[in-house]
Amino acid sequence: MKPLQAAVLPASAGWLWIRQGYQLFRRQPMAMLFWSVLTSLFINAGALFPIVGQAILVTLTPALTFLTLCAGKHLADGRRILPGMWFLPLKSPGVLRGLLKLGWAWLVCSFIAAFIALLPFMDTLVELIDLQDTPDLQALGQAMWAPLVLFGVIYLFLSALFWHAPALVGWHALPLRRALFYSMVACWRNKAAILLYIVTWVVGYFGLHEFISLLAASGMSGSALAWIILPLDILITALLYCSFYPIYRTIFNGGQGASSRDQA
């Protein structure tokens, strides 16, 4: 087994990951569209139950990410994805337990990040809420801007910690701390490529929704817009999912250092 080591890639790798994801999507588009719809339903179901549902969703996110990576590996290997294969990777010994442990860590870190972001501004927020029976929503929104920015900075750090962790736990059987450490190192070494990757998706997402806004301004009916937005969102999510595995494969040399779990 080769030692696990994160490669250092040029910034242009950010675009390469998206292009390779598109190539994987073309191999079995219906399978990835199905997974996009299924995860969207799961996310919407979690939103129906405030706090509890969202906490469960955050806890299961590493497992869902790992299943998405496994699907990408199937596509890259030229294997057909059948309905009964989606959850098979979680049956490998220790995988589900490790991913749930990672999910709990992600949940706890998210709560800590939110607490740290709110703590310096707590007095101001409490004053705005207690000033009157009906709080000034505009003033409250302005006061929330600084905590949200601080939370975003902390969340960026957490994202680097957890970015590659599902693959490292699921395929390489790394303990939680080592998985987080390797993930942070890999993200730092490839920060330019990851930044370009994220910016490209963000620009594409907002560009698409700006186009939808132009259609709405032109007088297109809401029902017609819904028929456009829903399929596009499903398609974009499927393309995004397909780009996950190329990131792992290029940074960690195709998973050559992985354990036997990589065959799942």
Count of CB atoms situated within 10 Å of the CB of 221: 10
Q: What is the model's pLDDT at position 152?
A: 87
Q: What is the structure's pLDDT at 112? A: 92
For residues 118 and 160, what is the distance between their CA atoms, to the nearest angstrom?
22
Q: What is the 3-state secondary structure (H, E, C) of the chain?
A: CCCCCCCCCCCCHHHHHHHHHHHHHHHCHHHHHHHHHHHHHHHHHHHCCCCHHHHHHHHHHHHHHHHHHHHHHHHHCCCCCCHHHCCHHHHCCCHHHHHHHHHHHHHHHHHHHHHHHHHHHHHHHHHHHHCCCCCCHHHHHHHHHHHHHHHHHHHHHHHHHHCCHHHHHHCCCCCHHHHHHHHHHHHHHCHHHHHHHHHHHHHHHHHHHHHHHHHHHCCCCHHHHHHHHHHHHHHHHHHHHHCHHHHHHHHCHHHCCCCHHHHC
Write down the pLDDT at residue 239: 95
Note whether residue 241 is domain-resident: yes
Tell me if 211 is assigned to some domain.
yes
Query: From CA 245, how far away is CA 70, in angstroms rounded?
Result: 8
Whole-prediction pTM: 0.86
Q: Considering the domain boundaries, does residue 2 fall inside one?
A: no
Q: Within a domain: residue 234?
A: yes
Query: Under a CB-based contact definition with an 8 Å cutoff, are residues 129 and 135 in contact?
Result: yes
Furthest-apart CA atoms within the chain: distance in Å: 65
Residue 76's pLDDT is 94
**117 assigned to some structural domain:** yes
Residue 8, domain member (yes or no): no
Residue 186, domain member (yes or no): yes
Q: In a structure prediction context, what are the per-residue pLDDT tens digits for the chain, which is 264 residues long?
A: 456 788 999 999 999 999 999 999 999 999 999 999 999 999 888 888 888 888 999 999 999 999 999 999 999 999 999 888 899 999 989 999 999 999 999 999 999 998 898 888 777 777 766 655 666 667 667 777 888 888 888 988 899 999 999 999 999 999 999 999 999 999 999 999 999 999 999 998 888 888 888 888 887 777 788 788 888 889 999 999 999 999 999 998 744 433 435 444
Angstrom distance (rounded) from CA 164 to CA 189:
13
Would residue 71 count as lying in a domain? yes
Cβ–Cβ contacts within 10 Å for residue 50, how many?
Answer: 9
Residue 60: domain span: 13-263
Q: Considering its fold, how many domains does the chain have in total? A: 1
Closest CA to 144 of 163, 162, 124: 124
Closest residue by Cα to residue 67 from 38, 97, 87: 87
Write down the pLDDT at residue 28.
95
CB contact at 8 A, 182 and 4:
yes
**Cβ proximity of 99 and 170 under 8 Å:** yes
The CA-to-CA distance between both ends of the chain, in Å, stands at 17
At residue 135, the pLDDT reads: 61
Q: Which residues are CB-contacts of 208 (< 8 A; sequence separation ≥ 6)? A: 232, 236
